[in-house]
């Protein structure tokens, strides 16, 4: 297998505003703590109006490990679109990753994008050097996405759909092939309005050009409660993963992604990996930050749903089909969120 160059730096991209900076801090600390043996590691934060105070906090985390954190201010993201966009209640900072090429140095020809709500538990060198085999990106499949999301971007039920929380990007190919234009054109064709704005755009515009990555590199915390055959039943493409790789991901995930509403920073959350997140947060300048209150009963309902999923996943799918998109679209009316 062809590997990415040994002598080149490993480039990491995050994107955030002030609202998610604390979670970025926990993720960044976990990344640096578990990858001390990488000689050259460059961190780029795509800032969407982040305060100087928070930028300095992130730089201090990098300095603790002898790493430099580069801040790239994105400005008003809506101005980067040549048309009106509706992010369906998600904060527009989620779209920053699409514009990485416009602010990163030309020397950055490959990068690993990480969502702020991830925790890195192991080495990422192997992931970074993955042979993309001519594809524009490497991502982990998410077979449980809503059917309407697939339909909105022209995907059939059993075609692979990928989660954008971890993206291995061939930026040299993106520049060469005009990928940013392709992404913007696709989003325009859908009226600048897709359920999972950036994620749907990546899946639709890069259809057939995304390499499936092992699930251990983006393990969704709620997948702890599913059996592998159940996931294959949701999308036959997930059969490419293999049960052994899925079991490895559940047992020893390299990157944990706090996908869904059961966030570890919410009071009452019973997320299995909550202590891991809080442990890393406590090592950052955001140590002692209070948990978000007001959702205690909702978190108990999430925990109960997870337990039911072990025994009757069909019940969870029923709830998702009938309430999932309606609940998340409700964020738009309630004032939105960071996704």
- Three-state SS for 166? strand
Distance CA 147, CA 205 (A): 18
pLDDT tens per residue, the chain (339 residues)?
345 666 799 999 999 999 999 999 999 999 999 999 999 999 999 999 999 999 999 999 999 999 999 999 999 999 999 999 998 878 889 899 999 999 999 999 999 999 999 999 999 999 999 999 999 999 999 999 988 899 999 999 999 999 999 999 999 999 999 999 999 999 999 999 999 999 999 999 999 999 999 999 999 999 999 999 999 999 999 999 999 999 999 999 999 999 989 999 999 999 999 999 999 999 999 999 999 999 999 999 999 999 999 999 998 888 877 766 555 555 444 333 443
Q: What is the pTM assigned to this prediction?
A: 0.94
Q: What is the DSSP letter of 324?
A: I
Phi, psi of 242 (to 5 degrees): 90, 140
The closest alpha carbon to 47, from 57, 36, 32, belongs to 57
**Which pLDDT score, from 0 to 100, does residue 290 have?**
97
Could you tell me if 111 and 171 are in contact, meaning their C-beta atoms sit under 8 angstroms apart?
Answer: yes
| Cβ partners under 8 Å of residue 239, min gap 6 | 232
| Cβ partners under 8 Å of residue 189, min gap 6 | none
Residue ranges of domains in the chain: 10-334
What architecture does CATH give domain 10-334? Alpha-Beta Complex (3.90)
133-184 per-position pLDDT tens digit: 999 999 999 999 988 899 999 999 999 999 999 999 999 999 999 999 999 9
Strand spans (E) along the chain: 10-16, 41-47, 69-73, 111-114, 118-120, 137-141, 162-169, 210-212, 219-220, 255-257
State the Cα angle at 35 between 252 and 278, rounded to 5°: 65
Looking only at the bridges linking them, the beta strands covering 137-141 and 210-212 are parallel
């Amino acid at each position: 297998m062809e590997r990415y160059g040994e002598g080149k730096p490993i480039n990491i991209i995050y994107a955030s505003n002030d609202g998610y900076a604390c979670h970025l801090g926990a993720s960044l600390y976990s990344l640096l703590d578990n990858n001390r043996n990488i000689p050259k590691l460059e961190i780029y934060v795509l800032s969407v109006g982040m305060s100087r105070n928070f930028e300095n906090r992130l730089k201090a985390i990098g300095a603790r490990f002898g790493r430099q954190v580069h801040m790239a201010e994105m400005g008003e993201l809506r101005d980067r679109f040549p048309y009106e966009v509706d992010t369906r209640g998600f904060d527009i900072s989620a779209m920053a990753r699409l514009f990485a090429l416009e602010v990163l140095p030309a020397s950055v020809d490959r990068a690993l994008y990480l969502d702020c709500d991830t925790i890195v538990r192991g080495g990422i060198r192997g992931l970074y050097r993955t042979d993309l085999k001519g594809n524009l990106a490497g991502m982990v499949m998410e077979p449980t996405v809503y059917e309407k999301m697939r339909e909105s971007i022209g995907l059939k039920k059993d075609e692979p759909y990928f989660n954008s929380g971890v993206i291995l990007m061939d930026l040299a190919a993106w520049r060469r092939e005009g990928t940013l234009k392709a992404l913007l054109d696709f989003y325009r064709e859908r009226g600048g309005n897709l359920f999972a704005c950036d994620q749907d755009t990546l899946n639709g515009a890069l259809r057939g050009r995304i390499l499936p990555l092992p699930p251990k590199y983006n393990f969704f915390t709620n997948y702890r409660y599913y059996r592998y055959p159940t996931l294959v039943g949701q999308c036959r493409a997930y059969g490419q993963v293999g049960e052994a790789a899925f079991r490895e991901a559940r047992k020893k995930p390299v990157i944990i992604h706090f996908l869904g509403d059961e966030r570890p920073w919410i009071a009452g959350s019973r997320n299995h990996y909550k202590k891991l997140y809080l442990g890393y947060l406590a090592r950052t300048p955001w140590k002692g930050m209070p948990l978000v209150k007001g959702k205690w009963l909702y978190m108990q309902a999430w925990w109960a749903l997870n337990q039911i999923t072990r025994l009757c996943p069909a019940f969870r799918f029923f709830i998702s089909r009938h309430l999932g998109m309606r609940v998340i679209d409700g964020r738009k009316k309630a004032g939105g969120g960071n996704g």
